Amino acid sequence: MHGVVSLLDDHNSQMVESLWARIEREFGVRGVYSIPHPHISYHVSGQYDLDKVRTVIEVFARHTTPFRVRLSGLGVFTGPNPVLYIAVVRSPRLAEFQHELWHQLSKASGHPLEFAYRPARWAPHITLAHRDLTERSLAAIVRKLCTLELSHQVTVNNLALIYDTGSTEEMIYRTNLSEGKGSGPLRHIGRAESVYE
């Protein structure tokens, strides 16, 4: 699956990567290493028109200023293939950001992963372990990590396109959000500016 994400800053990336390494070292779980960089995902799809997606990202980034979000501890997506993650607080600002981005990207993609990423269902997170995570290893990892302080602040200041090659996921494009004073907290991209209406 391909995805549009925000990469974490260096400090928070190092924190997540150290947890990835600890989980592999102590529990032998390393499925997360197919992901190139720690990130927050907004839209995931099995098919993207790459030129259109890049244009959407560029236009969206030009009209959006950076903002801060807060991490809030461990969480688990349950099911036959569980996912362990760091939860990101779904603030009104972050929810609005993802909702508008989803709307624009869905016009440039086929087969979006709607169950987890449609705005009404979306749970922002940073993946710690998945794919080779078992019921037993999940329980052991949560016991080990449950005392960690994970209430960090993260600045959302970029958008990136992660492309699934079939064997790995690669970042093939990244752009920063606008630092311009006139952009406001988030100005909706109206019909006149919408890239694929």
| Every domain of the chain and the residues it spans | 2-179
Average pLDDT over residues 49-58: 94
Residue 133 phi, psi dihedral angles, 5° rounding: -85, 125
Give the Cα separation of 45 and 3 in Å (integer): 6
Per-residue model confidence as pLDDT tens digits over 88-97:
999 999 999 9
CATH 3.90.1140.10 fits 2-179, yes or no: yes
What's the token pair of residue 53?
A: 């997606």
pTM to 2 decimal places: 0.87
For residue range 123-153, what is the model confidence (pLDDT) as tens digits?
Answer: 999 999 988 899 999 999 999 999 999 989 9
